[in-house]
Structure 1
């Protein structure tokens, strides 16, 4: 080969080497190295994947996020889970000494609500409220209660959480749109998201996730509470917040006695309170009531 051709080829070859040396670092930084092949499919299946912080968008769920509240309500009665405090069995029996000691009347004595057909029934007492309340107290809890409304008295009753916040029970089947006084409402705080009420004479179910408000040393609310509630398979309250009660009918405002004053005093001091079942003039029936205390969140 002529000398000038050799020189040209060497010069071109040198340029290629120079370009290659500049290009390779760029590709090495831009493209990830091939991952080592896993030993088998099982190893690949369990290998964790971590998103870089720059790729983790606002919808990324942190590993510490608790699972959503999705209670089972499709078949009644629902069995109480392990760790639940059973306040009323799924089929209470008349004369069974172990059935009703978990509730007392508003003076702290035995209740007079009758046991009928595997449930207890509100004993309507004209002239004054005949609520009953649980002997067990709780702060944050998941609460399950099954009930049946009747046409008499418009099926009016309720679940008073801590005696302050009422999940309404009412003959509201077919009401559209539902209001803050219909079944599924957090009374005087929020109307239900949907009308999930069933007709009278059918068993219905509430599942409630309750976070109590936090109070200071003087009993004033310093951090709001919240409730998420499901009624008959549909979510009717979604993390609705509250502070002091708004209902004029709470048990601590009518027929108050020393026993109830003591309950409310301890509630404000400790944040722990009972579950009340409301007498509002209708023979509503209840069964299968239990609570699962939750750790502070």
Structure 2
């Protein structure tokens, strides 16, 4: 009788540990954009530290006006953004820019500054982004001590619409800020199927905000990301989103 009771208890435990998976419908229409807005966990505010200088083996992508020839607009035209000594500022409605050199896994450092909030309308507050391999977006946004301006996986330092940063380390508008990024590029098999997804580790103003966070696929605004095969090296891209965000001291180390 005791053995029978133990057997019944074991079966009950195993049944309690089972669960079912919902089958996705590949033919379903795209959900509204709000379906992928994540408000579940508000990152706490922290006080950031200062930043350092480039290492000796860095590839400097932008350190002054002379480096504009390392970039081009995505349509192939020369860069039309405003360059003054060591600062590069977006000119709205000129399109994104990308590097002429292609990269895979990298360590990336860049400094950025959002404009006066009075310049931008609605929720487009210092809106830009860093696209690793031109596909995977780390968001730039004016996120200083906000409350309800934008969903948390769309604030500064998020993997856009995918991963919320661990904390909000943003400084005030019109203040130079830093991203220090370790990007592990996705790996594809010979048959072009995904072997390993991409990962991002990011320090925002010297504060860890993404810790080897998985990238779920290329950035999409509406719907859900999905990997598709691409080359092992692609250009780095900076987004023009109709806001005069500025950049300086951009360098990479290939990994």
Fold shared by both chains (TM-score > 0.5): yes
> Tell me, what secondary structure is at the counterpart of 2:230?
helix
Paired residue for 2:158? 185
Number of equivalences: 195
Paired residue for 1:167? 138
Paired residue for 2:99? 134
| Native 8 Å contact 1:221 1:244 kept in 2 | no
Paired residue for 1:157? 128
- Among 226, 235, 239, the residue aligned to 1:278: 239
CA distance in 2, matches of 1:275, 1:218: 25
Paired residue for 1:204? 177
Where does 1:1-297 land on structure 2 (aligned, <5 Å)? 74-76=49-51, 78-89=52-63, 92-93=64-65, 98-116=66-84, 118-125=86-93, 130-150=95-115, 151=117, 152-153=119-120, 154-175=125-146, 179-248=152-221, 268-269=230-231, 271-294=232-255
CA distance in 1, matches of 2:128, 2:137: 9
Deviations 1:6-26 (A, max 9, x none): xxxxxxxxxxxxxxxxxxxxx
CA distance in 1, matches of 2:50, 2:166: 22
> Tell me, what secondary structure is at the counterpart of 1:147?
strand
Structure with greater contact order relative to length (CA < 8 Å, sep ≥ 6): 2
| Native 8 Å contact 1:175 1:195 kept in 2 | no
| Native 8 Å contact 1:105 1:130 kept in 2 | yes
| Native 8 Å contact 2:103 2:234 kept in 1 | yes
CA distance in 1, matches of 2:136, 2:213: 12
Return the offset for 1:103: 0.6
Superposed CA RMSD in Å reads 2.2
Large movers: runs of 4+ above 6 Å: none
Unaligned runs of 5+ in 1: 1-72, 250-264
> Tell me, what secondary structure is at the counterpart of 1:198?
coil
Greater helix proportion: 1
TM-aligned CA distance change 1:232 to 1:222, over 3 Å: same
Return the offset for 1:215: 1.1
Return the offset for 1:74: 4.3
What is the TM-score normalised by the length of structure 2? Answer: 0.71
Larger Rg: 1
Moved more, 186-195 or 78-87: 78-87
Return the offset for 1:242: 2.0
Return the offset for 1:275: 1.0
Return the offset for 1:137: 1.4
> Tell me, what secondary structure is at the counterpart of 1:288?
strand
Greater strand proportion: 2
| Native 8 Å contact 1:156 1:170 kept in 2 | yes
CA distance in 1, matches of 2:211, 2:99: 25
